[in-house]
Amino acid sequence: MVSKMKLARIEKGLTQEQLARRVNATRQTIGLIEKGEYNPSLNLCIAIAKELSKTLDDLFWEVEL
């Protein structure tokens, strides 16, 4: 399953590395978050949401269908 964060990043035209630099993280950390292998802190979530012009709900809230 492709994560909402990855879709939002691609939609914004950013690479993992570019996003990482903007939120003061490493490319590896962004990759791990997108794969669901790392739970970021609230501060990092907010920084990512701001960079991708999305809300926290848009990126991280899971809706059961």
Partner 1 sequence: MKSWITFLLPNDEYKEKRMLYFLSEGAIILMLTLIGMIIMNNYLKLDAETYLLLSIAVFLFYVSVRYTMSGIEYTDVSTERSYRKELKHIFIRTGSFVSIYILVYLIFTGVPSHKNEWIDIIGLLVCVGLVWFITSYISLKRSYKKNKELL
- Is 26 or 53 the residue whose CB approaches partner 1 more closely? 26
Give the footprint of partner 1 on residues 29-48 (CB under 8 A).
Answer: 29, 31-32, 34-35, 38, 40-41, 44
Residue 61 CB, shortest distance to partner 1, in Å, is: 21
- Do 28 and 21 meet the contact criterion of CB atoms below 8 Å apart? no
Contact yes or no for 19/30 (Cβ under 8 A)? yes
Torsion over CA: 58, 51, 36, 44 (sign): negative
x/- map, 3-32, partner 1, by CB under 8 A: -------------xx------xxxxxx-xx
